[in-house]
Amino acid sequence: MQLVFKRKFAADGYQCITTSPGDYGLEGFTTLTGKGFQCYCPEKNYSQKEFYEHQRNKINIDLKKLVKNKKELSAILGENKIINWIFVTPVISHNNLLSYIKEKEEEVKGYSLDFIHKDFSISIHDAGYYITEMNDIRYFKGEAISFDLPPPILNDVDIDETQYNGNIKRKSALRLSQLEGSASYERKLRFLEESTTQDFLSHTEFFGKIEKEAPVVYAKLSRVIHEFTEYAARQSNIWTGSAHELTEKLSDSLVETIVNDLGPLITKSTAMTAARHTVARWLAICELDYE
């Protein structure tokens, strides 16, 4: 982001602030336009509620650093005054953040700091404000250019055991409807229900391990799966074949998409495991249905 700020705000007199000897609540500032920047990227892929709480807390903590480090900041800023403090984060988790920063504006004005302008305001910028500069930097570094935004926030799974068991039982029966009445139907139905339930319940553990051990891979993988989930929902609404054929087609296509987009970062076997857990989640929480 320092490279992005230097590129985007060079004409505004951008000056970065290094983290040595400490973090003063500002990544940098512009000498000509009075902008101050502070970044926050989450450590993991939080739910919407969790992400909102972390963003709100980060804003609160960093604004208090303006008071805590007023002596150091006064020396760094000199005659410059901050008129617009900009919180830069991948996505805006909730509209409540916009009302929260209005409260914090008045609080900061009340600090009576000599480097805070009388018309002080706070803004929130998501990645969309800087995507052009990000891609320019990636291009010059020889990296692949991304035309989408960072991974979306995970939807909260607000479903109890009775609901997801019911969804899995109903959809398993639909997938095996052509075998109903056969000698092996009950055995295969029980196996499908149990394996789908287990894959759903271990979904968080599987993806959490990837997130912890390879966060960059996880970010890329979650983006691919999110986009494919949208595709799967559309396919389920226009599909004319059997439920089992649709499920297998989507699972195979997801494996192929992951391998094509993320190979060699992810092996085919890992892609198959990721697809298995993802399809189970779709079925359990009704992101994929057959009716």
Q: What pLDDT does 209 receive?
A: 87
pLDDT at 211: 81
Q: What local confidence, expressed as pLDDT, does residue 213 receive?
A: 81
Amino acid 259: pLDDT: 93
- C-alpha to C-alpha distance for 272 and 258, rounded to whole angstroms: 9
| φ, ψ for residue 164, nearest 5 deg | -70, -30
Angle at which helices 268-285 and 215-238 pack, to 10 degrees?
Answer: 50
* One pLDDT digit (tens) per residue for the chain, 291 residues: 999 999 999 999 999 998 776 678 899 999 999 999 999 988 776 778 888 999 999 999 999 999 999 999 999 999 999 999 999 998 888 889 999 999 999 999 999 999 999 999 999 999 889 988 888 887 777 766 555 555 544 555 556 788 889 999 999 999 999 999 999 999 999 999 999 999 999 998 998 888 888 877 888 898 899 889 999 989 988 998 999 999 999 999 999 999 998 888 889 999 999 999 999 999 998 888 886
Q: What is the largest CA-CA distance in the chain?
A: 85
Query: In this structure, how many other beta carbons lie within 10 angstroms of the beta carbon of residue 78?
Result: 9
